[in-house]
Amino acid sequence: MIYVGMDLTGSISYFGSPSAKDRMAADLAEHRLDLTARKQILWESDTATDAEVRAMEIKLIRELHANDPAIGYNLTPRL
């Protein structure tokens, strides 16, 4: 399962929005005996505006199908 998120603060500990965390926690509880968590930076920019970062997040969610419940935890944009 994947989650695509944006971090405008540069926080290394960012792992998703509260709604995504609830869905991830339920899934993790089910698979708690074999769990690997990984954070991968898919895109970064020192000059992008907040709007550009949000647009890239949506683009990546769609490209990776992270809003498909069988693949990812993203709730928006809806399929």
**Residue 69's CB: how many other CB atoms inside 10 A?**
11
CA distance 66 to 79: 10
Query: Does 50 score more than 90 pLDDT?
Result: yes
Give the number of C-alpha atoms closer than 13 A to the C-alpha of residue 58, restricted to the C-beta side: 9
pLDDT of residue 52: 98
CA distance 69 to 55: 21
pLDDT tens across 57-75, in order? 999 999 999 999 999 989 8
How is the chain split into domains, by residue range?
Answer: 1-79
Two tokens, residue 16: 């998703």
pLDDT tens across 11-43, in order? 887 777 766 667 677 777 776 667 677 889 999
